[in-house]
Amino acid sequence: MKIKNNSYVLFFYNDSKKWLQKIDKKQSLHTHVGVIKHKDAIGKEFGSRLRTNKDKYVYMLDPTIHDFVMKSQHGTQIVYPKDLGYIAARAGVQSGQTVLEIGTGSGALTTFLASIVKPRGHVYTFDVAPDFMEIAKKNITRAGMIKHVTMHELDLKTAKKAPLSDVDIAVVDLGDPWTVVPIVRKMLKGSGAFIAICPTMNQLEKLSASLIENEFADIECSEHILRTIEAREGKTRHSFYGIGHTTYVAFARKVFYDAKSKKLLKEQKSAESLEKSDATPSEEQD
């Protein structure tokens, strides 16, 4: 496939020096390895290389969703590819599904999900920050996914009516994800997947309690660490670069408790409330 004017190209020099550009025959990219004239890329095959004015070579690659995600404009913290892949696999994201996202952020996760569920599926994303949503819209559009995404400026924490139904997967990226569990349950199909992005363990604790209270099962909380390898003949070693903790990922599925399970849960909550009210001041401080 040949590069055209207005094509997106990833100019690759090495792992740490790469630039995502929309080709404009009148523009040039100035880098430490030299000037890259956009017009010189037009008509070339993706994968071919281009020489800069400093006699350095860069490869012209067809950008993937990973490239768009990592090069997106960040108004908020993004969900990294190491977590994106697990989310897709654990939730079983596939083409044709309907996905609910609460907390659009910079649109990185939105873009990734849309790239999988398209062309027959759709992502409905909700946020309350118009400035961040504008950034997200630009990022999603640049990746070519905007026609598979509908954006809503709406606070689902206080919404009186669930705006969607029969949702296959719900993804929540909020500081207090437990607050939307009840309304998410109303929108999910039976056995539908729930995913939450939780930066701290305290969030996981509160969320897990809310998931049990709202009849979810298969609850799993995980953390994913990425460590790269420098693979070179005769001197392969672990890289000094890696991505450690970025977030925790919580997963669950909507189920239907039987009457006995609901009764036991209600009794447990009552006992906990009674224990808390009977606690002495010193016990509460402990």
First to last CA, the chain: 66
Which of 23-27, 149-153, 176-180, 191-195 is predicted with the least confidence, judged by mean pLDDT? 23-27
pLDDT of residue 285: 47
Local confidence band at 239 (pLDDT 50, 70, 90 cut-offs): confident
What are the beta bridge partners of residue 28? 37
Burial of residue 151 (CB within 10 Å: 0-12, 13-18, 19+) is buried
Q: Is the CB of residue 111 less than 8 Å from the CB of residue 125?
A: no
* Share of the chain residues as helix, strand and coil, in percent rounded to the nearest 5: 35, 30, 35
Q: Is the CB of residue 66 less than 8 Å from the CB of residue 12?
A: no
What are the beta bridge partners of residue 127? 153
Residue whose token pair is 């460590």: 227
pLDDT of residue 154 exceeding 60, the answer is yes
Q: Which residues contact 277 (CB under 8 A, 6 or more apart)?
A: none
Instruction: Note if the pTM is more than 0.85.
Output: no
Q: Coil, helix or strand for 267?
A: helix
For residue 151, which amino acid is it?
Answer: M
The per-residue pLDDT for range 51-72, each reduced to its tens digit, is 999 999 999 999 998 888 887 7
